């Protein structure tokens, strides 16, 4: 059966970007893992308890309008009419550049497609999604070197590789189900190398564990390349035939000897040598990375250095792959559907006039705006300066998820119009003028794209509560009220069919195939024969160590970083309303080393104040295996009141490095 009836209704997990399928029995509401790809009969606790938040008593059930300090219920007709009238007035008074949209990495491809279509038809590219906060650094680096900003190989390839390097990424807690693939490689004799700033759960499964000083990733990567080049361990045939810029890399990494790198990174020179040799001699290998790499001021350069390692060894196609592992369940789809302020759908640059006009023609207009919109991380200063007057947010919670969250909250109070579509009265929704109640993942149909670029259909299990509606239906109502043409969709598949027309890889594929099996686009394995660059060759880009934006000093002597917990997701609005998950994780903590705890007179379980230049938090201290001088806070609570909003080249804040201090209360 297409929708898995018999086994249960097949639904895409609403949490991480791995993209597990759940089988839900609508009557008993029991959740079972789907036996096929990608999860192969496995689920992590978040997937198993994925229905609990859906039936929370906190669900929004009616449109709400702010009156004074509280909200009053209004009808859908009135809400949409008032919102569209206000938007039109703002555009008339200040121009289309004064409005902005935040799309959602949790809603379907169809819904993301509509959000950017509305924004662009209104005349602005101010449409962005939370990829800006996580993997936009990867997109910029991968596009520059290889041609596409995406994961190169399917998960199933991981099992075949001779070595897997896991860098700034803790899959055992972030994407627990991917561990079966990683451990599959290990069972076949593959070597697992883990590089992180603390002893993560993933490190327990590693053959090589490298605990690195925060912010020194480029030095370590360059030292690994130094060993590979000096030892003649690189793949000469691949480098000569399929890359450009090798001499730049050879020169660039010369000074990064393992001994030099030991002083900078804290990783022993002998271990750097051994790991470089093991990875190079494995014959095939993957590099997987996460936010530990991308959420730094050097995020783009960090990824460039990892790509350089893979290029030196020719680890592409059958021989290896690059895995920028996505956080939220549809962050890949949201980006692919065009909800990035510098790209049209498919990551096509705004400057590609042929594609831009093709999209415009499909939407019934001559052309679309060409100027890059604000990055989502630039919205807050733009609002405070008066350049942005209206913000429309679908399913995101920037008052908690964005760096320097106090500044974000201040900006949210300055808007002439703030609309939030969501399941719950989130911290962001509290600032809204209008709140529109949205359906949860299992109360609607549509497609999602996981980290391996697999588009999967998610079927409907039950009706949404009260008057809440699927996001796409709300967006269609809004577009029609705004007088936009081309929104005469009667079912969600009409939107799917429209986005299929945009991508050559989907031109000869059918929605039936998508519903039955899912489709990986453009192909499961990229770059088998050629890279997606003008000459078909990949480009080495040498990078130098870049220092973090703010360094610890006498006033703020510690380095604060943010981490994830297995039982929580993003800003915790869903998982905290899931009793089984909330029980497992409880309140927010700060992880501190035994040495630092002793120095500050802190015992495990004591309450402490953690402060940075941006704010302070009261937290429970937890003594953990983390290096001296570094403290870590799970980002699911209010950690971003403390984090640094300095942006890297891709517009991603330096969440992973803030100078901080701690004191016992």
Site for ligand SF4 in 176-205 (CB under 6 A): 176-177
The beta-strand segments (E) located in 580-624 are 589-592, 607-611, 616-623
Count interface residues toward ligand SF4 (CB under 6 A). Answer: 14
**Shortest Cβ 18–ligand SF4 spacing (Å):** 4
Give dist(CA 177, CA 194) in Å, integer: 17
The beta-strand segments (E) located in 8-145 are 9-12, 21-24, 31-33, 64-67, 70-73, 99-102, 127-128
For ligand SF4, the closer of residues 46 and 433 by Cβ is 46
Binding-site member from 44, 119, 224, 408 for ligand SF4 (CB under 6 A) = 44
Closest residue to ligand SF4: CB criterion: 47
**Shortest Cβ 631–ligand SF4 spacing (Å):** 26
**Shortest Cβ 303–ligand SF4 spacing (Å):** 22
CB burial class (10 A; 0-12, 13-18, 19+) of residue 81?
middle
Q: Tokens in use for 381?
A: 């200063």
For ligand SF4, the closer of residues 49 and 101 by Cβ is 49
**Shortest Cβ 217–ligand SF4 spacing (Å):** 25
For ligand SF4, the closer of residues 117 and 568 by Cβ is 568
DSSP state letter for 556: S
Rg (CA), the chain: 24
For ligand SF4, the closer of residues 198 and 326 by Cβ is 326
Give dist(CA 179, CA 170) in Å, integer: 10
For ligand SF4, the closer of residues 20 and 114 by Cβ is 20
User: What counts of helices (H) and strands (E) characterise the chain?
Assistant: 23, 28
**Shortest Cβ 175–ligand SF4 spacing (Å):** 5
Segment lying near ligand SF4 (by CB under 6 A), choices 169-177, 182-190, 250-258, 508-516: 169-177
Based on the shown chain and the rule CB under 6 A, indicate whether residue 171 belongs to the binding site for ligand SF4: no
Give dist(CA 274, CA 227) in Å, integer: 9
Based on the shown chain and the rule CB under 6 A, indicate whether residue 449 belongs to the binding site for ligand SF4: no
Segment lying near ligand SF4 (by CB under 6 A), choices 174-182, 478-486, 522-530, 637-645: 174-182
User: For the window 72-91, what string marks contact with ligand SF4 as x by the rule CB under 6 A?
Assistant: --------------------
Query: 306-335: string of b/e by CB count within 10 Å (b at 16+)?
Result: bbbbbbbbbbbbebbbbbbbbbbbbbbbbb
Segment lying near ligand SF4 (by CB under 6 A), choices 39-47, 192-200, 373-381, 586-594: 39-47
For ligand SF4, the closer of residues 39 and 426 by Cβ is 39
Helix, coil or strand: residue 609: strand
**Shortest Cβ 59–ligand SF4 spacing (Å):** 20
Give dist(CA 494, CA 507) in Å, integer: 15
Q: Tokens in use for 84?
A: 């569209």
Helix, coil or strand: residue 218: helix
SS (H, E, C) 116-152: HHHHHHCCCCCEECHHHHCCHHHHHHHHHHCCCCCCC
**Shortest Cβ 228–ligand SF4 spacing (Å):** 33
For ligand SF4, the closer of residues 117 and 576 by Cβ is 576
Query: 447-463: string of b/e by CB count within 10 Å (b at 16+)?
Result: bbbbbbbbbbbbbbbbe
For ligand SF4, the closer of residues 177 and 461 by Cβ is 177
Give dist(CA 615, CA 625) in Å, integer: 26
For ligand SF4, the closer of residues 175 and 319 by Cβ is 175
Structural contact between residues 563 and 295, judged by C-beta atoms closer than 8 angstroms:
no
Whether a cis peptide bond, with omega within 30° of 0, leads into 105 is: no
As a whole number of Å, the end-to-end CA separation of the chain is 59
For ligand SF4, the closer of residues 44 and 597 by Cβ is 44
Structural contact between residues 236 and 250, judged by C-beta atoms closer than 8 angstroms:
no
Segment lying near ligand SF4 (by CB under 6 A), choices 36-44, 235-243, 439-447, 599-607: 36-44
Q: Dihedral (C-alpha) 284, 287, 288, 291: value to the nearest 10 degrees?
A: 180
**Shortest Cβ 39–ligand SF4 spacing (Å):** 6
Taking CA atoms, 261 is separated from 227, 481, 558, 626, in Å, by: 11, 60, 22, 20
**Shortest Cβ 200–ligand SF4 spacing (Å):** 16
For ligand SF4, the closer of residues 315 and 459 by Cβ is 459
**Dihedral of CA 289/292/294/297: which sign?**
negative
What is the number of alpha carbons within 13 Å of residue 289 lying toward its C-beta? 33
Binding-site member from 10, 46, 191, 409 for ligand SF4 (CB under 6 A) = 46
Segment lying near ligand SF4 (by CB under 6 A), choices 42-50, 187-195, 243-251, 618-626: 42-50
For ligand SF4, the closer of residues 4 and 147 by Cβ is 4
For ligand SF4, the closer of residues 71 and 441 by Cβ is 441
**Shortest Cβ 579–ligand SF4 spacing (Å):** 17
Taking CA atoms, 440 is separated from 12, 21, 75, in Å, by: 12, 16, 20
**Shortest Cβ 181–ligand SF4 spacing (Å):** 11
Based on the shown chain and the rule CB under 6 A, indicate whether residue 47 belongs to the binding site for ligand SF4: yes
Segment lying near ligand SF4 (by CB under 6 A), choices 40-48, 400-408, 479-487, 620-628: 40-48
Taking CA atoms, 150 is separated from 109, 140, 345, 547, in Å, by: 16, 10, 14, 27
Binding-site member from 175, 198, 469, 636 for ligand SF4 (CB under 6 A) = 175
Segment lying near ligand SF4 (by CB under 6 A), choices 75-83, 171-179, 531-539, 631-639: 171-179
Taking CA atoms, 155 is separated from 71, 322, 593, in Å, by: 46, 11, 34
**Shortest Cβ 19–ligand SF4 spacing (Å):** 6
Give dist(CA 165, CA 157) in Å, integer: 14
Residue recorded with tokens 């910029």: 140
For ligand SF4, the closer of residues 176 and 299 by Cβ is 176
**Shortest Cβ 222–ligand SF4 spacing (Å):** 33
**Shortest Cβ 177–ligand SF4 spacing (Å):** 4
**Shortest Cβ 285–ligand SF4 spacing (Å):** 23
- The C-alpha angle with vertex 349 and arms to 346 and 350, in degrees rounded to 5, equals 115
Helix (H) or strand (E) holding 237, with range, is helix 236-242
For ligand SF4, the closer of residues 20 and 400 by Cβ is 20
Binding-site member from 9, 11, 23, 43 for ligand SF4 (CB under 6 A) = 43
**Shortest Cβ 458–ligand SF4 spacing (Å):** 12
For ligand SF4, the closer of residues 43 and 639 by Cβ is 43
Site for ligand SF4 in 4-23 (CB under 6 A): 13, 15-16, 18-20
Q: Which residues bind ligand SF4 (CB under 6 A)?
A: 13, 15-16, 18-20, 39, 43-44, 46-47, 175-177
């Amino acid at each position: 059966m297409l929708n898995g009836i018999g086994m249960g209704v097949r639904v895409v997990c609403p949490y991480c970007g791995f993209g597990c399928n759940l089988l839900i029995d609508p009557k008993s509401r029991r959740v079972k893992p789907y036996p096929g790809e990608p999860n192969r009969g496995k689920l992590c606790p978040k997937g198993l308890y994925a229905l609990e938040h859906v039936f929370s008593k906190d669900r929004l059930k009616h449109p709400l309008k702010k009156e004074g300090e509280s909200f009053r219920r209004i009808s859908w007709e009135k809400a949409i009419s008032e919102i569209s009238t206000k938007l039109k007035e703002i555009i008339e008074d200040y121009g289309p550049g004064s409005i902005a949209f935040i799309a959602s990495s949790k809603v379907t491809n169809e819904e993301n497609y509509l959000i950017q279509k509305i924004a662009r038809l209104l005349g602005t590219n101010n449409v962005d999604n939370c990829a800006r906060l996580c993997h936009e650094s990867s997109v910029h680096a991968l596009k520059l070197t290889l041609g596409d900003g995406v994961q190169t190989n399917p998960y199933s390839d991981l099992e075949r590789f001779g070595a897997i390097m896991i860098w700034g990424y803790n899959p055992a807690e972030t994407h627990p189900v991917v561990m079966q693939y990683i451990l599959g490689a290990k069972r076949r004799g593959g070597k697992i190398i883990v590089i992180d700033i603390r002893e993560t759960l993933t490190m327990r499964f590693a053959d090589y564990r490298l605990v690195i000083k925060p912010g020194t990733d480029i030095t370590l990567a360059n030292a690994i390349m130094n060993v590979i080049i000096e030892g003649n361990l690189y793949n000469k045939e691949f480098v000569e035939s399929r890359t450009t810029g090798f001499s730049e890399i050879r020169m660039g990494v010369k000074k990064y000897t393992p001994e030099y790198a030991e002083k900078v990174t804290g990783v022993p020179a002998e271990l750097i040598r051994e790991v470089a040799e093991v990875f190079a001699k494995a014959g095939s290998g993957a590099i997987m990375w996460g936010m530990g790499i991308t959420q730094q001021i050097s995020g783009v350069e960090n990824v460039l250095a990892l790509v350089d390692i893979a290029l030196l060894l020719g680890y592409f196609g059958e021989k290896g792959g690059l895995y920028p592992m996505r956080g939220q369940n549809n962050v890949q789809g949201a980006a692919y559907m065009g909800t990035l302020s510098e790209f049209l759908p498919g990551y096509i640059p705004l400057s590609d006039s042929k594609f831009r006009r093709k999209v415009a023609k499909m939407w019934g207009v001559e052309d679309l705006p060409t100027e890059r919109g604000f990055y989502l991380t630039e919205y807050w200063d733009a609002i405070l300066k008066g350049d942005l007057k209206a913000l429309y947010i679908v399913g995101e919670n920037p008052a908690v998820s964005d760096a320097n969250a106090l500044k974000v909250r201040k900006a949210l109070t300055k808007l002439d119009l703030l609309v939030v579509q969501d399941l719950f009265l989130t911290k962001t929704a509290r600032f809204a003028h209008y709140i529109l109640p949205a359906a949860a993942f299992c109360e609607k149909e549509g497609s999602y794209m996981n980290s391996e670029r697999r588009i999967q259909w998610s079927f409907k299990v039950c009706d949404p509560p009260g008057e809440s509606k699927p996001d796409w239906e709300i967006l269609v109502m809004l577009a029609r009220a705004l007088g936009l043409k081309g929104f005469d969709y009667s079912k969600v598949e009409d939107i799917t069919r429209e986005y299929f027309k945009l991508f050559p890889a989907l031109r000869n594929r059918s929605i039936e195939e998508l519903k039955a099996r899912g489709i990986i686009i453009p192909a499961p394995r990229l770059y088998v024969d050629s890279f997606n660059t003008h000459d078909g060759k990949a480009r080495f880009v040498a990078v130098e160590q870049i220092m973090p934006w703010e360094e610890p000093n006498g006033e703020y002597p510690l380095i604060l970083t943010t981490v994830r917990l297995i039982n929580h997701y993003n800003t915790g609005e869903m998982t905290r309303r899931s009793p089984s998950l909330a029980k497992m994780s409880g309140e927010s903590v700060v992880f501190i080393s035994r040495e630092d705890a002793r120095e500050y007179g802190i015992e495990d379980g004591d309450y402490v104040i953690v402060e940075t230049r941006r704010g302070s938090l009261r937290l429970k201290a937890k003594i953990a295996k983390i290096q001296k001088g570094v403290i870590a806070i799970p980002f699911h609570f209010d950690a971003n009141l403390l984090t640094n909003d300095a942006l890297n080249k891709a517009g991603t804040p330096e969440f992973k490095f803030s100078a901080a201090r701690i004191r016992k209360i």
